[in-house]
Amino acid sequence: MAELTVDDAAGARGDRPFVVLGVSAGIAAYKAVDVCRRLVDAGAHVAPVLTERATRFVGRATFDALGSEPTQSTVFDEASPIPHTRLGQRADVVVVAPATADLLARYAAGLADDLLTTTLVATAAPVVVCPAMHTEMWEHPAVQANLATLVARGVVVVPPEDGRLAGGDVGSGRMAEPATIVAAVHEVLAGRRAGAPDLAGRRVLVSAGGTREAIDPVRFITNRSSGKQGHALAAAAVRRGASVVLVTTSGQARPAGAEVVEVETAAQMEDAVLARATDADVVVMAAAVADFRPKVVGDTKLHKSDGVPELVLEPTNDILAELGRRRRPGQVLVGFAAETDDVPERARAKLVAKRVDLMVANDVSAPGVGFDHDTNAVTVFGADGVVTTVPLVDKGVVADAVLDRVVPLLAASPD
């Protein structure tokens, strides 16, 4: 990969980047050796910091040989009287690989009871965490909640991958490959998230939630969408510097910094989105818009004593398809496809039919995926043929993964 550099515009030093490599106690610690080697080969000054329990998995001598300075493990037995302050202040980036469930919990809570966590709390540098743990641990609500807390604070997460785990099991939770981790560090040092937001100056329109289509003044037809993924996308876009408009049916907390437009029906969603789409650089249709609505809406409540009413449905307008027809040159259009069967085939068909750049598909019949969950697992299909798979993670992580696909499309499009 290219030599690691520090973006002077981001306010970091312009010399050899100083990387604190934290290693916590997981079997994936052996892969941190390769991360260390790759960072040094790319031109970084690497200061290894191992937790005491991590030394049961990998030896200090290995990192002493590969790193740029002696490995440190405790606050008290090092040459510096305050090693966490020295490391935290000098760091251009802090990388934790692997980041165990315990490490994520302590960092999210602000605990500082060893050299690695005190360094994390003492630094103002960007932090990259690379979770690694067994599938059941990775999917636990407490782990996902801690991860969401860290993401909200601006911590960069390199999601784990599916694959072979300790003990011979196969599933999600395997730490990302060293090359992927080093690439993420390269992006941070280039200023992509560290002081130079990659959506700065861009206008992003996001829709969220499931619409409600009235049967009478009391009853309505809807779906299971909570709006959490759309709200996470809006929050991530704000954090990355965009001017954001969120059109939502959801009662979720409003993302700070976003303009929020509240709607209820598919028709109201259509009017609000189409009225604002022309000025948007990016439109993300994450809302679960009803495909059908009652053709006739009762003026008064329907009563059981009146017998079973005849409910005749009519199709709603396809907002995403209309956006595809109206899109202006350079605008990036993202759709969502919540499916229960033939997910890749249906997503690719929608990608073409609706003329979008990206189609984010998920199997909402899978545990923990999609509607009303805090987690999601998606596959992002691009019109350019590129496919990105995001395993079951917090919806905030999914939001950043989707925006990671959007940014290069903006860069490649005409102004």
Which residues, including other chains, have CB under 8 Å from residue 408's CB and lie 6 or more apart? none
251 within 8 A of 260, measured Cβ to Cβ: no
Residue 56 DSSP SS3: helix
Q: Of 223, 317, 362, 376, which residue is the catalytic one?
A: 223
159: left (phi over 0), alpha (psi -120 to 50) or beta: beta
Beta strands in 62-104 (DSSP E): 93-99
Alpha-carbon distances of 19 from 37, 47, 189, 266, 366, rounded to whole Å:
12, 6, 10, 49, 39
CA–CA dist 97, 395 (Å, integer): 21
Strand-pair category, 220-221 with 282-285: unpaired
Sequence-separated contacts (24+) of 65-74 with Cβ below 8 Å = 66/33, 66/36, 66/37, 66/40, 67/21, 67/36, 67/40, 68/40, 68/44, 69/45, 72/47, 72/48, 72/115, 73/49, 73/115, 74/114, 74/115
- Measured N-to-C along each axis, helices 395-412 and 228-239 cross at an angle, to the nearest 10 degrees, of 50
DSSP secondary structure letter of residue 72: B
Q: Which two tokens stand for residue 313?
A: 């449905």
Residue owning tokens 């165990």:
100
Distance separating alpha carbons of residues 9 and 126, to the nearest angstrom? 15
Q: Report residue 251 as tokens.
A: 């009662």
Cβ atoms < 10 Å from Cβ of 72: 25
The Cβ of residue 289 has, within 10 Å, a number of other Cβ atoms equal to 25
3-state secondary structure string across 219-242: CEECCCCCCHHHHHHHHHHHHCCC
State residue 240 phi and psi, 5-degree precision.
Answer: -95, 15
Q: How many CA atoms lie within 13 A of 263 on its CB side?
A: 25
223 in catalytic set: yes
- Residue numbers annotated as active site: 223
